[in-house]
Amino acid sequence: MFTKVDVCYRWLHHFFTARSFTYFWFALSLTVVLIYSLLGLQEAFISDYFVQDDARQHVFWMRRFLDPSLFPNDLIANYFQTVAPWGYRFVYWLPAQLGIDPLLLNKFIPVFLNLLTAFFCFSVVLEILPIPFAAFSGTILLAQSLGLLSQAIVSGTARSFLYPLFLAFILFLLQKRLFSLLATIALQGLFYPQLLLITSVTLFIDLFTIKRGKLKLTSEQKNRYISILGLIVATIVILPFALNSNEFSPVITREQAMQLPEFFPQGRSEFFQDDDGSFSWWKGRSGLGLASALTPVTNILAFFIPFLMLFPRAFPFTQKLSRNLILFPQILLASGVMFTASHLLLFKLHIPSRYTEHSFRIIFSVTAGLVIVILIDAAFKFSQKSNFDSLLKKLIPLVTILVLGIPLLGYPLLQDGFPTTGYKKGNAPALYEFLKQQQHDIVVASLSLEGDYIPTFAQRSILVSPEYAIPYHWGYYQQFRQRTLDLITAQYSSDFDVVSQFIDQYQIKFWLLDRSSFTPEYLSNNNWLQQYQPATKNAQLKLEQGIVPLLETRRENCAVFENDKLVLLSSSCIISAN
């Protein structure tokens, strides 16, 4: 009996700590990640009118690849097409040449990217510690982190490519595979230029080493060679982005942002916490993103690795860690440098959290995976050396496996709505189909939240809507903001000339109203509209005074579509009814 127990005990130790199970743990990693991905994909097909949140901004305009006549002279479509990185565009453009709808492709791309991310993550861990269970643990923790808090990959947008590309960079740098590394660096610039900045700083840091308390150039010639060539390629790729301005330049300045409610609490792009320009260093767009990096909570184990390395006898696997582990703190340092630079050059390098949120998530997940296997191996070794009762000795590693393994695999089961997909449902299919039958050049004016879905599902232009109120490029947002102010003023005006001039100026074909549009509460409870002052306050004051807006008097006679929540008015009827 005890012989069989001993055999099982040794096999279990071997199972979790030996290299011979690489294919098993790799296959299991891909299987678990595929299951997570398919759970998200299942939600994508609940209805024909489900769309991923970020895809409403970054994919809708790609229907132009199928029909170039869509969204003519559309400020919103032109803006999001202009800021889309070239590589990201190409991924959607190529299948579109075969007639594949970009929004359909958008649902499947995350499955492929999740598997690619898992492959590179598994490979990276093996380069640091050649124990496949460690690679499995790190891969699953990263997949859970992405599934719990982040819509980075599931969005199928440019940032979705960040994770496989950054992990590929780490892998090829660890393996010293020059041409693969240079190709990956080039691809980073084509898909997510901000990532290239972290990569560049990492390569620069890798040029140096500390010897006898002094900072010196690394003596390893191959390292220098790879880093210098990588920096050259990164510079070549990023220069066009740095030097090229577009019709929507310049980037908004800190001073301009301080004047806009959009950047304050409850604003569309909340950044500052108070009028004095204070912000959080820990969360939100201005923060390091530590909370997301430490989700799932198992990722907290990453903090223990420096401590474990101080006691190699108690934790023998720390001696097997590759000296290339130094790359991880280098990446954290590079991320911190870019985070600081982004604050100093606020909005010129986009938002600071982009430089830490993703890289921290990768490093903490992978490192936590290393710690898990180090602790399991240590538990087995400790039980072998201890003087405890034989049964108790066997229980020590088993309890350790359960304590670490149950959260590793079971954590998502404790979370409602795992994985987080960010899919949004359009609630007016009949409206979308009606608008889809109209000419391609129509423009719909609306303050309704339903306007967020019109470009995606009706494939027609919307004048403004909250989803597209992105304030970082002043050349775009200045126009967008003025349109919104004009729309609020016109919608609540009782003056025919004001309404008529607005319709003529923006070539409005239809006007979409919520049935509750003309109540003071509609304005006072709408955080988005409260950003646009004094137009919203003036409109609210008119309603409170009992002044009837012109559109309300036209609502019954000029309606061309209506349901229990919405009314669509014909602008030609609004004008002719005077």
Partnered with residue 215 across adjacent β-strands are: 210
Nearest CA-CA partner of 159 in 242, 231, 107, 85: 85
Distance CA 492, CA 536 (A): 9
Distance CA 52, CA 62 (A): 15
pLDDT in tens, the chain (578 residues): 456 667 777 888 888 888 889 999 999 999 999 999 999 999 899 989 999 999 999 999 999 999 999 999 999 999 999 999 999 999 999 999 999 999 999 999 999 999 999 999 999 999 999 999 999 999 999 999 998 766 789 999 999 999 999 999 999 999 999 999 999 999 999 999 999 999 999 999 999 887 777 778 877 888 899 999 999 999 999 988 877 778 898 999 999 999 999 999 888 898 888 776 777 787 888 888 888 888 888 999 999 999 999 999 999 999 999 888 999 999 999 999 999 999 999 999 889 999 999 999 999 999 999 999 999 999 888 887 766 656 676 788 888 889 998 888 888 888 888 888 889 999 999 999 999 999 999 999 999 999 999 999 999 999 999 999 999 999 999 999 999 999 999 999 999 999 999 999 999 999 999 999 999 999 999 999 999 999 999 999 999 999 999 999 999 899 999 999 999 999 999 998 66
Q: Three-class SS string for 69-93?
A: CCCCCCHHHHHHHHHCCHHHHHHHH
Output DSSP code: residue 61. Answer: G
CA atoms within 13 A on the CB side of 358: 24
Rg (CA), the chain: 28
Distance CA 44, CA 49 (A): 9
Distance CA 228, CA 246 (A): 30
Q: Which residues, other chains included, contact 220 with Cβ-Cβ below 8 Å and sequence gap of 6+?
A: none
Q: What are phi and psi of 208, to 5 degrees?
A: -115, 160
Q: Could you tell me the CA-to-CA distances from 320 to 17, 19, 26, 61, 312 in Å, in that order?
A: 12, 12, 20, 50, 10
User: Please, what is the Cα angle at 127 between 124 and 130, to 5 degrees?
Assistant: 115
pLDDT on residue 388? 60
Output DSSP code: residue 459. Answer: -
Distance CA 571, CA 549 (A): 15
Q: Which residue has the tokens 């699953």?
A: 140
Choices 1.10.3470, 3.40.50, 2.30.42, 3.30.460: CATH for 427-576: 3.40.50
Q: Give the domain ranges of the chain.
A: 2-414, 427-576
Partnered with residue 52 across adjacent β-strands are: 423
Nearest CA-CA partner of 268 in 257, 283, 278, 277: 257
Q: What are phi and psi of 445, to 5 degrees?
A: -100, 135
Q: Could you tell me the CA-to-CA distances from 238 to 187, 188, 235, 351 in Å, in that order?
A: 11, 10, 5, 18
- Cis status, amide bond into 534, omega within 30 of 0: yes
Give me the count of residues in the chain.
578
> DSSP string of 129-188?
S--HHHHHHHHHHHHHHHHHT--TTTT-SGGGGHHHHHHHHHHHHHHT-HHHHHHHHHHH
Output DSSP code: residue 288. Answer: -
Q: Which residues, other chains included, contact 22 with Cβ-Cβ below 8 Å and sequence gap of 6+?
A: 126, 132
Query: Coil, helix or strand for 574?
Result: helix
For 106, the enclosing helix (H) or strand (E) is helix 102-128
pLDDT on residue 1? 46
Distance CA 147, CA 370 (A): 20
Q: What are phi and psi of 560, to 5 degrees?
A: -110, -15
pLDDT on residue 5? 64
Q: Which residues, other chains included, contact 340 with Cβ-Cβ below 8 Å and sequence gap of 6+?
A: none
Torsion (CA) 274, 279, 280, 286 in degrees, nearest 10: 130
Distance CA 17, CA 92 (A): 42
Q: What are phi and psi of 42, to 5 degrees?
A: -60, -40
Q: What share of the chain is helix, strand, coil (3-state, %, to 5)?
A: 65, 5, 30
Q: Which residues, other chains included, contact 547 with Cβ-Cβ below 8 Å and sequence gap of 6+?
A: 494
User: Please, what is the Cα angle at 508 between 104 and 247, to 5 degrees?
Assistant: 65
Partnered with residue 51 across adjacent β-strands are: 424
Query: Which residue type, as a one-letter code, is found at position 137?
Result: S
Output DSSP code: residue 315. Answer: S
Pairing outcome for strands 208-211 and 214-217? antiparallel
pTM of the entire predicted model: 0.94
Contact 351, 342 (CB under 8 A): yes
Strands (E), 19-87: 50-52
Q: How far is CA 302 from the centre of its chain?
A: 23
Contact 189, 234 (CB under 8 A): yes
